[in-house]
Amino acid sequence: MTRHAVLSNESTFARLAARRSSSWQKRCAAFVITVAACAAGPAAATLVSFDTSSLAGSAARLDFSLLDGDFTENNSVTVASLSTDGTLGGVDCTLSCSGGPSYAITDTGGLGQLLQDLILGSYFSFDLSFTTNYPGNGAPDRLSLLLLDPLTNFTLVDTDLDFLNDPVPTQDALLVVDLAPGAQIQLPTATDPNVPSAGIIPEPGAGGLVALGLVLLSGQRIRSRRQSAQAR
């Protein structure tokens, strides 16, 4: 092969590498822009599940209540993909609640509430997402989940998530979230009978996907710089 032919092959390779790199960069950039647009929506959902084997066969009522603490109508909670190997029964979504089977509750009027009756199996689970607005007046709005006897509305479980003296009180909750920036899902450390959380799993957040897209872009730039250097 002549020196001219080798140079010609090398410059063809460099052109192809540059074209492929440009195409990759365009695709990665489109991915980042798309995900960043999605990031403007509600907070990423978290999959929450509880092991209800100790109460399997019992009639129960899930009570998701969002109580206003800051005297401002500024927060909402979404409960989606409610699932169990027991039997889902009637739903009451009338109090500052809308939708179905994905439900949104708000703090409009001071209280939003979703009630879901069911016959318990060995677990129930749902996707939870929420806003975290808190202007600093009063107390943060509080979401609590209670597991109740549908006949009496008394709790079926004694838990150590008891906040009777708080501005927004709750007792024997299976889950509590105080809606303020940086809000964390609080779970009980003791339950009687035993209803342990089978785990909370954050769904892939938009922020993480944006970071992944940026890593792909920068990795592609490093590779294309190396290929250009080798082709020279």
Q: Which residues pair with 179 in a beta bridge?
A: 141
Comparison of 190 and 201: residue with beta carbon closer to Ca ion:
190
Structure tokens belonging to residue 15: 């052109």
- Closest distance between Ca ion and the C-beta of residue 143, in Å? 11
Is the torsion defined by CA of 207, 209, 213, 216 positive or negative?
positive
- Closest distance between Ca ion and the C-beta of residue 196, in Å? 15
Comparison of 72 and 186: residue with beta carbon closer to Ca ion:
72
CA dihedral 69, 115, 162, 54 (to 10 degrees): -160
Residue numbers at the binding site for Ca ion (CB under 5 A): 68, 70, 72, 74, 107, 141, 158, 162, 172
- Closest distance between Ca ion and the C-beta of residue 19, in Å? 54
CB-based burial label for 204 (10 Å; 0-12, 13-18, 19+): exposed
C-beta of residue 25 within 8 angstroms of C-beta of residue 219: no
Structure tokens belonging to residue 140: 């943060």
C-beta of residue 56 within 8 angstroms of C-beta of residue 86: yes
Comparison of 34 and 98: residue with beta carbon closer to Ca ion:
98
Is the torsion defined by CA of 221, 227, 230, 232 positive or negative?
negative
- Closest distance between Ca ion and the C-beta of residue 65, in Å? 13
- Closest distance between Ca ion and the C-beta of residue 160, in Å? 6
- Closest distance between Ca ion and the C-beta of residue 135, in Å? 9
Distance CA 155, CA 164 (A): 15
Comparison of 32 and 104: residue with beta carbon closer to Ca ion:
104
Comparison of 172 and 178: residue with beta carbon closer to Ca ion:
172
Query: What is the C-alpha radius of gyration for the chain, rounded to an integer number of angstroms?
Result: 26
Comparison of 127 and 172: residue with beta carbon closer to Ca ion:
172
Comparison of 72 and 102: residue with beta carbon closer to Ca ion:
72
- Closest distance between Ca ion and the C-beta of residue 172, in Å? 5
Cα-based distances in Å from 90 to 13, 100, 117, 118, 161: 66, 12, 5, 7, 27
